[in-house]
Structure 1
Amino acid sequence: METVQTNSFKAWVLAARPKTLTAATIPVMAGCALAYIYGHFQILPATLCLLFAFLMQIDSNLINDLFDFLKGSDREDRLGPERACAQGWITIKAMKVGIAVTTGLAAITGLCLLYFGGWEMIPVGIACLLFAFLYTTGPYPLAYHGWGDVLVLVFFGFVPVGCTYYVMAHNWNMSVTMASLACGLVIDTLLMVNNFRDRKQDAVSGKRTLVVRFGARAGLILYFLLGLLACWCCFYFILLGKLFAVVLPQIYLLLHILTTVKMAKINHGKELNRILGETSRNMFIFGLLLALGLIL
């Protein structure tokens, strides 16, 4: 087990889970690529969108770390990467301060985006901040009742792709819808492999994910279908004459199939963290290829 000094800089870096920031990057890249092809790209709002996405991802990670620990979900039999509160890397008091600071910084970044996106961005920003907490907190924690996958589609698909495009273009079109759906689906593979790995522990904790509800086989099939459907969404761009946006993301599908096969063979245990790493890599490649395909 890694030795980390309590409340140290290293502890905060680990708690922020930088490897998960790919999930924040992908939809913003797609939104920026769409803004570029329609002639609306601007560097400053694009940068602010990326910063807001990063801060919200880190905020969500810190909130989940704290409240999963308080709920007793992060037990000794945890299979995933170590959590900061559970390991004693960060104290509960310090984590609450960290969450307050990160939430505040995200709110300030969101306010700066109002200059570009207009006042209609306020409800979206409030929803982002609110659902970051509702995911694991409150009387009805959404992650514990099987709503995680829907939230990923909304807050890692439609919200970041759509809003990144909107603050620059001030409109919405079918291309934004399909890119949002593609990003949301591919990023949900990351949640699915997490839930597949943790299915036994989640069942004990009362966390009713789709994998807990329908079983490991269903989780494996859903994992594969999410990646497949994300690739199929890209076929829409042939209508725009964007052949590269159709073809390039299909390269991801080969990697996704190989990772799915490995996931089926491993089936359970900590070794599935390898699949978590591969999934993160695969979905980043998808996002990169989609953005590149749109721009070319």
Structure 2
Amino acid sequence: MAASSQRKKSTSPKRTPNRTSGNPARRPVVEAGPVTVRDWIGAARLRTLPLAVAPVLIGTGAARSTGPEFHWVIALACLAVAVLLQIGVNFANDYSDGIRGTDAQRVGPARLTASGRVPAKRVLAVGLVFFALAAIAGLAIVIRTGQWWMLAVGAVCIAAAWFYTGGKRPYGYYGLGEVFVFVFFGLVATLGTTWVQIFDLPQQAWVGAIAAGLFACAVLLANNLRDIDQDRAVGKRTLSVLIGRRATQVLYTVFVLVPFGLSSFLALLFPIAWLALLALLAALPAIAIVWSYRKAQELVIALGLTSLAALLYAGVLFWAFVG
């Protein structure tokens, strides 16, 4: 009888609690099929790339407005820095939010780290590669222009990109994300692009920089509004969590519409800037979604439309400045 009991004990499957670590870096990779190129492209968050292109367009147009010469090599290098840095930020966020467990219940597209399909260190390595490529492009600009002090600006940009969600006290978790996005994806990106081409900062560059920064903040607000319930649950104190849903909707609307007031001001000097109002064809539906959405997934569309509006707006300003 004892021997029979022993056999039964040894052949019975061992049951273990179904626990999932809050840190994907410490859990086994989930077998959900091979990770494809499409998965990596999705993690790069292509919807946000117009926000990297827009300030370079505006800054280059502002530089061209002061003289007859195009600085194409420098402009393309600025574009490379902006795009590579944006992609690096996106992978760094995937890694940092993933290992904290704050992406575990996301509404938007799945993340590589949080899903457990890719080891966290590999996602981090990819992000660091893009940061390094952005640094190399930035170094080329510095060498070409002789503006060595801008090495410090580049270092601050990379540090700001990392500490948005990385480090022990990421500022994106304390309601400061929009401030830094405005500064770095608006002012620094636009004015930096203009400066390295003409070593001057005309009025139109400043106005365009403010507009680019506001669009970038609007996209971040749409993203944080989508994730507001999940962020609140995991203790991620974004600006949307701090001020609430309704105030976020109001602020988003302000951020989207103010650039069109600024373009009307620019139109007094550059008449083609009136055509920037055409970007309202993308901006107004985005605003409508933000105010009337029923499911958080709908805000993904608003986010994409806002990015598109920013790109259209920047393209028109470029045309206005160089025309």
TM-score normalised to structure 2 length = 0.85
Q: Is the 8 A contact 1:136 1:144 kept in 2?
A: yes
User: What stretches of structure 2 of length at least 5 have no aligned partner?
Assistant: 1-31
- Superposed displacement of residue 286, structure 1: 1.6
Q: Which amino acid aligns with 1:127?
A: V
Find the aligned partners of 2:283 and 2:45 in 1 and give their Cα distance: 23
Q: Is the 8 A contact 2:286 2:301 kept in 1?
A: no
Find the aligned partners of 1:171 and 1:125 in 2 and give their Cα distance: 18
Q: Is the 8 A contact 2:74 2:196 kept in 1?
A: yes
Find the aligned partners of 2:318 and 2:113 in 1 and give their Cα distance: 37
Matches within 5 A, 1:1-296: 5-6=34-35, 8-39=36-67, 40-75=69-104, 77-117=105-145, 118-239=147-268, 241-245=269-273, 247-296=274-323
- Superposed displacement of residue 111, structure 1: 0.8
Q: Is the 8 A contact 1:178 1:236 kept in 2?
A: no
Find the aligned partners of 1:41 and 1:157 in 2 and give their Cα distance: 22
CA separation of 1:89/1:48 partners in 2, compared to 1, >3 Å: closer, same or farther? farther
User: What stretches of structure 1 of length at least 5 have no aligned partner?
Assistant: none
Aligned residue for 2:49, secondary structure, equals helix
Find the aligned partners of 1:150 and 1:98 in 2 and give their Cα distance: 26
Q: Is the 8 A contact 1:116 1:168 kept in 2?
A: no
Q: Is the 8 A contact 1:249 1:290 kept in 2?
A: yes
- Describe the superposition over 1:259-295 as per-residue Cα deviations: whole angstroms up to 9, x where unpaired: 2122211144222222222222222222222222222
Find the aligned partners of 1:17 and 1:265 in 2 and give their Cα distance: 24
- Superposed displacement of residue 101, structure 1: 1.8
CA separation of 1:200/1:163 partners in 2, compared to 1, >3 Å: closer, same or farther? same
Q: Which amino acid aligns with 2:40?
A: W
Find the aligned partners of 2:315 and 2:132 in 1 and give their Cα distance: 30
Find the aligned partners of 2:90 and 2:258 in 1 and give their Cα distance: 27
- Pick the structure with greater CA Rg: 2
Find the aligned partners of 1:19 and 1:256 in 2 and give their Cα distance: 15
- Superposed displacement of residue 4, structure 1: 5.8
Equivalent residue for 2:26? none
Q: Is the 8 A contact 1:4 1:10 kept in 2?
A: no
- The CA RMSD measured in Å over matched residues stands at 1.7
Aligned identity (percent) is 33
Aligned residues: 290
- Describe the superposition over 1:37-64 as per-residue Cα deviations: whole angstroms up to 9, x where unpaired: 1125311101100011111001100100
Q: Which amino acid aligns with 2:262?
A: C
Q: Is the 8 A contact 1:11 1:89 kept in 2?
A: no
Q: Is the 8 A contact 2:215 2:307 kept in 1?
A: no
CA separation of 1:31/1:70 partners in 2, compared to 1, >3 Å: closer, same or farther? same
Find the aligned partners of 1:221 and 1:131 in 2 and give their Cα distance: 27
Q: Which amino acid aligns with 2:125?
A: V
TM-score normalised to structure 1 length = 0.92
Q: Is the 8 A contact 2:101 2:114 kept in 1?
A: no
- Superposed displacement of residue 135, structure 1: 0.3
Q: Which amino acid aligns with 2:259?
A: A
- Describe the superposition over 1:222-254 as per-residue Cα deviations: whole angstroms up to 9, x where unpaired: 111001111122233245x21112x11222235
